[in-house]
Structures are given as structure tokens and as C-alpha cells.
């Protein structure tokens, strides 16, 4: 008989099913049983819920800290299934810049080493030609009249670019909430928000839509949909938690990229609306907020019934 692979036994030790043809072997084989016992001990000595939360928090902090660096890197950086070569390309630390000997006088080194070092010579020649050309090109670009058709394109160039648009309070820009029956017009620009997560709720009342960013007042028959703008990719979950404890997930847990996202589901207000809170944040934070009713760490929007 053939023993299962270490990988299969490890999967079994963490509770995954074994392939059918190996089950009887594992039940009978003392060596496999002993190995599984040892693995079981390792698994049971694993991180506690608190430690797991801390590890996730550290990983999130790491993501946040790495964000500016990641923004400049190709997208393949974060693909767990990327080839090692791709990872190597993007994660290879930058080579330190070549530096001059600390005690060498600047003037003499420029004169003597410049003549000796062919790379330096090339740099001197290149800079004397390229720099004026670059300056001339810059002046040309600056003095040229702006092309209105391309201005918006330029605004969206680059990972750090952001677009600001004004939204009249209480009304919804056309085509912004596809799930709420608003006609979708021209393609939206690829917008990236800066400054973390921005949350709003879109209320649909008999076809009339309004957008709120703090408290939304509702009456029976209204529908609510959540709008979340992210400036970087992150795992989020959106839900509405009524004051009586009922809970409805509007935006299932998923990793979402930068840009604007609308909740997949909408909440319909029934005949007897209750007060509640819309919670948006990481799945762990939302779960914690739901359990403890402490809304620290999540973004909230208040839902209040309109006075009759």
C-alpha cells in the first residue's frame, strides 16, 4: 500500500477530506495515524482568535504601508499565483546608486574619473544633449493650448491621479447607480479616490433617487443601496444592522479594487421601519461591530425612519 502524500495528510489534519481511496489506508496505517496526531498537535497549538485578528490587522497595516510603493509597481505584484519570475521582477529591491568615494574631492574626481570612466563620460555627453532637448519639449508642452478633449484623460493618468467631481447634495448624478433603474449614460471615467474609503447610501423612493453621506431618512417602500469608493484594493463587507438586532448583508465580503462599488443587494424598507446603522469595513471589523455594537473601526451611516 502507498502512503498518502504529506500534503494530503496535512490537508486532512486541518479538516479537509481525504481522497476516497486513501481513507481506509489512513484508518489502518499506524505510521500515518502517528503523523496525523503530531500534525493535529501543531494545528491545535495554532493561533487563537485573538492572535489571528492581530495577524490580520498587521497584514492590513502592512498593505497600507506598502500602498504608495505598490501604486508605482505593476499589478502583478499582488497576484498570489504569479510566476516567481514576475514576482522577482517587481519585488527585487532597487540596487543602490553608485556613489563617489567619501573622501574624494568633487572637482578633481569630476576631471580625472570622468575621463577614465566610460559610463561617466557617456552620462556627461548624454546630459549635455538630452537635458536641453527635454527642456525644449517641456516648454513646448506648456505653451501649447490645452485640448479640452484630452484634459480628462490626463487627469486620470498614473496611479496617483485623482478626479474630483461635484455632486449636488441630495441628487444622484445620472447613471451612477445601475441597480436602481437609472439609465446608464456615457462610460464613467476611471476614477480613483484618495484618502481611504468614502461611503454613501443611495435611497430610491418611487423611482426618485437621492444620495446621502451621513444619515438617511426612510419611509416604507424605500430601497437603500450602498456606494463605496475605495482608493486602494481591500476586502470589505457592507451590511445594515437594525437597532433591534436584525442584520442584512448588502455587500458580501469580497476584495474590491480602487474605484466606486455599489452593493449587490438593496435593502427594502418594510411597513414598520426601525432605526439602524449601515456598517462598511473589513469583514472582521463589521463582524466585531455586529457582535459588540461598538462601531469603532467601521464606517457607518445612520438610517432613521421619517416622522409620520
Residue numbers of the site for other proteins (CB under 8 A)? 1-7, 9-11, 13-16, 29, 31-32, 35, 38-39, 42-43, 45-49, 51-52, 55-56, 58-60, 62-63, 66, 78-85, 87-88, 91-93, 233-235, 254-255
Which residues are registered as beta bridge partners of 240? 248, 278
Least distance (Å) from other proteins to the CB of residue 239? 19
3-state DSSP percent of the chain in helix, strand and coil, to 5: 40, 20, 40
Nearest to 260 by CA among 151, 171, 162: 162
Question: Can you tell me whether residue 228 is helix, strand or coil?
Answer: strand
C-beta closer to other proteins: residue 7 or 187: 7
Give Cβ neighbours of residue 81 (< 8 Å, ≥ 6 apart). none
C-beta closer to other proteins: residue 70 or 302: 70
Cα dihedral angle (146, 151, 156, 158), rounded to 10 degrees? -20
Least distance (Å) from other proteins to the CB of residue 60? 6
Least distance (Å) from other proteins to the CB of residue 33? 9
Q: How many CB atoms lie within 10 A of CB 262?
A: 19
Tell me the three cell numbers of residue 114: 570622468
C-beta closer to other proteins: residue 235 or 242: 235
C-beta closer to other proteins: residue 41 or 130: 41
Least distance (Å) from other proteins to the CB of residue 91? 6
Tell me the three cell numbers of residue 41: 498537535
C-beta closer to other proteins: residue 16 or 98: 16
Q: Alpha-carbon distance 228 to 262, whole Å?
A: 6
Q: Alpha-carbon distance 281 to 283, whole Å?
A: 6
Tell me the three cell numbers of residue 21: 481511496
State the burial class of residue 94 (Cβ atoms within 10 Å of its Cβ: 0-12, 13-18, 19+). exposed
Least distance (Å) from other proteins to the CB of residue 298? 16
Least distance (Å) from other proteins to the CB of residue 177? 25
C-beta closer to other proteins: residue 77 or 295: 77
Amino acid at each position: 500500500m502507498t502512503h498518502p502524500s504529506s500534503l494530503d495528510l496535512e490537508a486532512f489534519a486541518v479538516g479537509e477530506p481525504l481522497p476516497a481511496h486513501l481513507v481506509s489506508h489512513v484508518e489502518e496505517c499506524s505510521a500515518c495515524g502517528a503523523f496525523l496526531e503530531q500534525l493535529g498537535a501543531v494545528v491545535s497549538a495554532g493561533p487563537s482568535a485573538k492572535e489571528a485578528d492581530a495577524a490580520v490587522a498587521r497584514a492590513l497595516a502592512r498593505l497600507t504601508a506598502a500602498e504608495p510603493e505598490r501604486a508605482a509597481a505593476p499589478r502583478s505584484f499582488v497576484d498570489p499565483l504569479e510566476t516567481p519570475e514576475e514576482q522577482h521582477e517587481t519585488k527585487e529591491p532597487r540596487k543602490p546608486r553608485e556613489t563617489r568615494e567619501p573622501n574624494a574631492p568633487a572637482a578633481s574626481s569630476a576631471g580625472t574619473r570622468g575621463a577614465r570612466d566610460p559610463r561617466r563620460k557617456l552620462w556627461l555627453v548624454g546630459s549635455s544633449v538630452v537635458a536641453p532637448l527635454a527642456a525644449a519639449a517641456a516648454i513646448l508642452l506648456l505653451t501649447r493650448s490645452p485640448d479640452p478633449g484630452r484634459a480628462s484623460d490626463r487627469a486620470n493618468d498614473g496611479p496617483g491621479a485623482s478626479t474630483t467631481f461635484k455632486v449636488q447634495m441630495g441628487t444622484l448624478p445620472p447613471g451612477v447607480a445601475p441597480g436602481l433603474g437609472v439609465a446608464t449614460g456615457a462610460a464613467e471615467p476611471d476614477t480613483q479616490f484618495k484618502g481611504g474609503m468614502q461611503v454613501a447610501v443611495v435611497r430610491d423612493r418611487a423611482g426618485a433617487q437621492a444620495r446621502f453621506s451621513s444619515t438617511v431618512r426612510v419611509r416604507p417602500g424605500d430601497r437603500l443601496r450602498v456606494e463605496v469608493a475605495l482608493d486602494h484594493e481591500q476586502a470589505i463587507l457592507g451590511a445594515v444592522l437594525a437597532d433591534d438586532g436584525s442584520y442584512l448583508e448588502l455587500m458580501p465580503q469580497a476584495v474590491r479594487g480602487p474605484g466606486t462599488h455599489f452593493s449587490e443587494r438593496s435593502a427594502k424598507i418594510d411597513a414598520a421601519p426601525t432605526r439602524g446603522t449601515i456598517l462598511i469595513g473589513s469583514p472582521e471589523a463589521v463582524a466585531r461591530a455586529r457582535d459588540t455594537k461598538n462601531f469603532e473601526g467601521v464606517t457607518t451611516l445612520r438610517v432613521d425612519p421619517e416622522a409620520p
